[in-house]
Amino acid sequence: MRLRIDYYASLREQRGLDSEELETGPIDLRGLYATLAERHGFGLRETQVRPAVNHAFCAWDRGLADGDRVVFLPPVAGG
Amino acid sequence: MSTVAPLSFRLTMEPLPASPPSSAPARAGAMVTFEGLVRDHNQGRPVVGLDYSAYLRLAQSEGERILQEAIARFTLVRADCVHRLGPLVVGDVAVKVWSFAEHRREAFAGCAYIIDQVKARVPIWKRETYLDGEQRWVACHDHEVSGC
């Protein structure tokens, strides 16, 4: 399936991209984050990021489908 | 009593307005305003400035959701929040909340809820610049002593 990953804040800096498209086999959010974190040396563990799919917060066990847009949000610091 | 009340959540690169976006509803006997300021230190380090960035679409929807929750929970008659993005310096106002209620207890409590939830949930990030020139992404979980 084809996924779009958008990056923000420290992960954007570490990835060096705002956004990318990936072609993958079946994968879940945990597997996706683990793969990206290892490949690009992300400094945030899974417990430190929060997933969002198609512009909505979601649980880690939400399934992924072709065309989904994924963000792994670093710890927020607004306000 | 209806829990539907007007609200607005806005993200902007411009300096924040002095007045709320709309005049006080006639039912309101109290308006409480919160201003979050850029202060000159964080965790003992001197701060010279910071930069806010956001996942705009999700920040907008989550901000509105928080205002709706506050209105329902505290019977507010109106709630507004504006958050600034981009570069700010010490002394700038980073965020403002206006909560309106029939009575002051609900207005105070609603205002506090809104800013607490915005800080905890809205996808906005802060990059601080320190006096020595170092820049660092700030995370709420860093603030174990001072709190967020």
In chain A, whose CA is at the least distance from the CA of B86?
A: A78
Confidence tier at B65 by pLDDT (50, 70, 90) = very high
Q: Nearest Cβ partner of B125 from A6, A55, A76? A: A76
According to the model, what pLDDT value does residue B125 have?
Answer: 98
The mean pLDDT value for B98-115 works out to 98
CA gap A69, A55 in Å, rounded: 8
Question: Does residue A69 surpass a pLDDT of 70?
Answer: yes
Taking only the tens place, the pLDDT of each residue in A12-64 is 999 999 999 999 999 999 999 999 999 999 999 999 999 999 999 999 999 99
Q: Which of A13, A48, A73 sits opposite B123 (nearest CB)?
A: A73
Q: Does the pLDDT of residue B1 top 80, yes or no? A: no
- Strand B93-101 and strand A50-53: the pairing is unpaired
pLDDT band of B143, cuts 50, 70, 90: very low
Question: Torsions phi, psi of B87, nearest 5?
Answer: -80, 135
Helices and strands (H, E) in chain A, number of each type:
2, 5
Residue B114: Cβ within 10 Å count? 30
Q: How deeply is B14 buried, as exposed, middle or buried, from its count of CB atoms within 10 A (0-12, 13-18, 19+)? A: exposed
Q: In what order do the strands lie in the sheet with A2-6?
A: A19-23, A2-6, A69-73, A50-53, A56-57
Residue B45 has pLDDT above 70, yes or no: yes
Q: How far off is chain A from B53, nearest CA to CA, in Å?
A: 7
Whole-complex ipTM? 0.96
Residues belonging to chain B with any Cβ–Cβ distance to chain A shorter than 8 Å: 36, 52-55, 57-59, 61-62, 83, 94-95, 115, 118-127, 137-141, 148
pLDDT of residue B139: 81
Length of chain B (residues): 148
Give mean pLDDT, residues B51-75: 98
At A77, the amino acid letter reads A
Contact A78 B137 (CB under 8 A): no
The reported pLDDT for the residue numbered B3 is 53
